[in-house]
Amino acid sequence: MIVKICGIQSVEAGLAAAEAGADMIGFVFADSSRQVTAEQAAQIGKKLPSHVKKVGVFVNEPIDSLINIVETAALDYIQLHGDETPVYLSSLNKPVMKAFSVSSEADLKLLTNYACDYYLLDSPAEAYRGGNGRPFDWSLASSESLPREKLFLAGGLHADNVQQAIREVSPAGVDVSSGVETDKQKDPLKIQQFIAAAKKG
């Protein structure tokens, strides 16, 4: 099970995630309470082990700006949470994770329009695209046609429900942000508990 800890804003949080066994960490470059600059992400990334992949989270970012951030922050993956088109994706030169807000089975049919490395299934947008801390109805993702080996699951996950989520959806990976926080700050103990639960069995 691939585990991504998103919304990393400090070296301490990044190292806590890496030491607990995270496979990926996410930097948010879109409007969010967890937003960082490319320079901040670069400084954090330099302190992390090379096997931990660095993912940049973007929402409707102009291509030139996105490419500049990717290079400055030395990102390994690009995660798109906006209204980006398939053509937009085709102009990127890094592996791409495209997020889809899931409120009905119809939302999942959009996946077939996109050629990308991973599809991230997330809760419907509220104040921000993603990172709202609420799960969607996982039964919507029960369709046998979904490419499980490319699915990431996000939205309202935490140590107490991630095993159930994995059983219901059978994703390749899980993505968490608020579910490993205390008072809106990354909590090393919650990170450890989440990763242990996600990778169990």
Specify the DSSP element, H or E, that contains 121: strand 118-122
Domains of the chain with CATH codes = 2-198 (3.20.20.70)
At residue 178's C-alpha, the angle toward residues 111 and 67, to 5°, is 55
Predicted confidence pLDDT, tens digits, the chain (201 residues): 999 999 999 999 999 999 999 999 999 999 999 999 999 999 999 999 999 999 999 999 999 999 999 999 999 999 999 999 999 999 999 999 999 999 888 888 889 899 999 999 998 766 555 555 678 899 998 888 899 999 999 999 999 999 999 999 999 999 999 999 999 999 999 999 999 999 996
Catalytic residue from among 76, 122, 137, 187: 122
Record the pTM. 0.94
Please say if 122 is a catalytic residue.
Answer: yes
Dihedral sign of CA atoms 34, 35, 40, 45 in order: positive
Q: What is the pLDDT of residue 117?
A: 97
Q: What is the pLDDT of residue 143?
A: 81
Catalytic residue from among 6, 23, 116, 175: 6
Please say if 116 is a catalytic residue.
Answer: no
Bridging pattern class, strands 118-122 and 151-153: parallel
Q: What is the pLDDT of residue 105?
A: 85
Dihedral sign of CA atoms 187, 181, 27, 149 in order: positive
SS3 101: strand
Residues 6+ apart with CB under 8 A from 62: none
